[in-house]
Amino acid sequence: MKEIVLIRDTITISGVKFIDSEYLRVAVLPLRNRINLYNMISEELLSEVINTKKTAFKAKYRKLMLGNRHYSNKISLRSDDGKFQYSLVLRKSESFIEDFSVLLIWENANEYSDVNKNIILARYQGPHDGKEPEGVDIHHSYHTHKITSKDIEVKRYLKPSNRKETEAYNSFEQAIQCFITDFGIVGVENTVEPFVDNKQLPERIIIEDISNA
Amino acid sequence: MLNIELLKKQTIDFGFREKRPNIYKVLVPFFHEDGDMYDIFVEESPVNNNLIRVSDYGLTLMKLSYAFDIDTDNKRTTLESIVAQNRCEIDNGLIYIDVLDTQVQSAVFLLSQVISKVSNMDIISREMVKSMFYDLLQEFVLEMEISFNYKMKKDITPLADSPDLVVDFEIPAKRPIYLFGARDDSKASKIIISCLQFSSNKLPYQSLVIHEDFETLTKFNQKQITNAVDKQYTSLDEFKAKGRDYLARAV
């Protein structure tokens, strides 16, 4: 199988670069359809998309909106060079304030690859319980998920798998501030009302697991 | 050697962790693709204290909403259908089932199935809508057959030596109108290749493409199809709104 690498509007076949042409469209299109082009989102592109500076320009609501038992908002972002479009997505459970997610979603991946879906690049979460005991399972703690090349390869665009525990934040509002800093986002304060920090989590009543056996 | 006694213990060994007073999270061996455990809780039912409510506390829809909104009647109907078909109920985003305490294990399994299906609603919804696109297009084209009194042909191959190049509908006119439905990038690519081949073989025709959703095509295909075909409608709704006038002039 020939190696085909698409770099924007030029195509390289077996090391020979072709500029987009009538012949190339007809000849290459059927072949492209049969090749797994998952590596169209290279590590470099992924890194650029994640790390480039971004500016918020509008929000769906001025403040978090309650619906279907959770608070939500979506803030539209654009990279400062105008290339990439994103959403900063906020979700917090109405019932359990520690169950929250702050997400960065890339919305125009189809302009730079064959991926026709939005891609969740990162997610910061609160402690929402895991199956294994505390100390073993990071889901009992504040933790982050980040997209990997492997996620892209297997088309796991909405479930970033690289998980890490974090001590960088202790609440939903702190997670937002941390997220904004980590991903170079500015201008959020121009789109929404300020987030009020609520560090008060309910006391955990019972720590040990109750087995059914 | 199969140890069935061990398996018996393992398969009923759900753990429970108290989330709030009298609300327990069930530690189930079911996980989303990113490693997050399914969110399933048990508590006394608020409507009947002889029953146990097994629910997700709205967290399934919260997770789904990251990239898929239940914002149309069709999606709401699909969601309610998935829940009801699996004998559960939904109340303002909370998916639940109230059972006797002896039925909790079965209810946990049932709710897990619902969570799996709801969590993949974005795929199900897309496939259901996609599977109807060609049916709806054909329905409209047939309606116009009556209005314009022509006899439409279906699945024609204008080039005898290229049977792979298929036109969805041919509408007779001075220069016949080759009408294609473009549901996705794969079909769009085939349309581009077909039209380029028809043109290079100097066939007299007009090409008309109806997209399911033009915006979902890659930028590459958007450009190529715009350069290759004579007329496009970016959605079936647009074609239904303006297609009659176009065909009246073109036929």
Query: Is the minimum CB–CB distance between B67 and chain A shorter than 8 Å?
Result: yes
- CB count within 10 Å of CB B90 equals 22
Side-chain-facing half-sphere of A156: CA atoms under 13 Å: 18
pLDDT level of residue A30 (50, 70, 90 thresholds): very low
Query: Is the minimum CB–CB distance between B50 and chain A shorter than 8 Å?
Result: no
Q: Are residues B98 and B138 in the same domain?
A: no
Number of domains, chain A: 2
Q: Are residues B143 and B76 in the same domain?
A: no
Residue B142 lies in a domain: yes
Using one digit for the tens of pLDDT, what is the confidence trace for B100-137? 988 888 999 999 999 999 998 876 655 555 567 887 88
CATH number at residue B79: 3.30.1460
CA A193 to chain centre: 23
**Residue of A69, A105, A212 lying closest to B13 (CB–CB):** A212
Which positions in chain B touch A117 (Cβ < 8 Å)? Answer: 67
Q: Are residues B111 and B150 in the same domain?
A: no
Please state the rounded mean pLDDT for residues B21-26.
Answer: 91
Residue B1 lies in a domain: no
**Residue of A114, A118, A161 lying closest to B35 (CB–CB):** A161
Q: Is A11 in contact with A20 (CB distance < 8 Å)?
A: yes
Looking at residue B12, its pLDDT comes to 64
Lowest mean pLDDT among A18-32, A168-182, B30-44: A18-32
Least CA distance to A155: which residue of chain B? B33
pLDDT level of residue A33 (50, 70, 90 thresholds): very low
In chain B, which among 9-28 make CB contacts under 8 A with chain A? 9, 12-21, 24-25, 27-28
Q: Are residues A100 and A170 in the same domain?
A: yes
Number of domains, chain B: 2
Q: Are residues B113 and B129 in the same domain?
A: no
pLDDT level of residue A210 (50, 70, 90 thresholds): very low
Looking at residue A114, its pLDDT comes to 77
Q: Tell me the two tokens of residue A182.
A: 């980590």
**Residue of B37, B189, B220 lying closest to A131 (CB–CB):** B37
Looking at residue B5, its pLDDT comes to 66
Q: Tell me the two tokens of residue B15.
A: 């753990």
Using one digit for the tens of pLDDT, what is the confidence trace for B66-110? 878 887 777 888 899 999 999 999 999 999 999 998 888 899 999
Q: CA A142, CA A135: separation in Å to the nearest integer?
A: 12
Please state the rounded mean pLDDT for residues B148-170.
Answer: 88
Give me the domain span that covers residue B69: 11-119
pLDDT level of residue B17 (50, 70, 90 thresholds): confident
Q: CA A29, CA A11: separation in Å to the nearest integer?
A: 11
Q: Are residues A127 and A59 in the same domain?
A: yes
Looking at residue A206, its pLDDT comes to 34
* pTM, full prediction: 0.66
Q: Are residues A119 and A150 in the same domain?
A: yes
Give yes or no for residue A163 having a pLDDT over 80.
yes
Residue A151 CB-density burial (10 A; 0-12 exposed, 13-18 middle, 19+ buried): buried
Using one digit for the tens of pLDDT, what is the confidence trace for B180-239? 999 888 899 999 999 999 999 999 999 999 999 898 888 899 999 999 999 999 988 889
Residue A209 lies in a domain: no
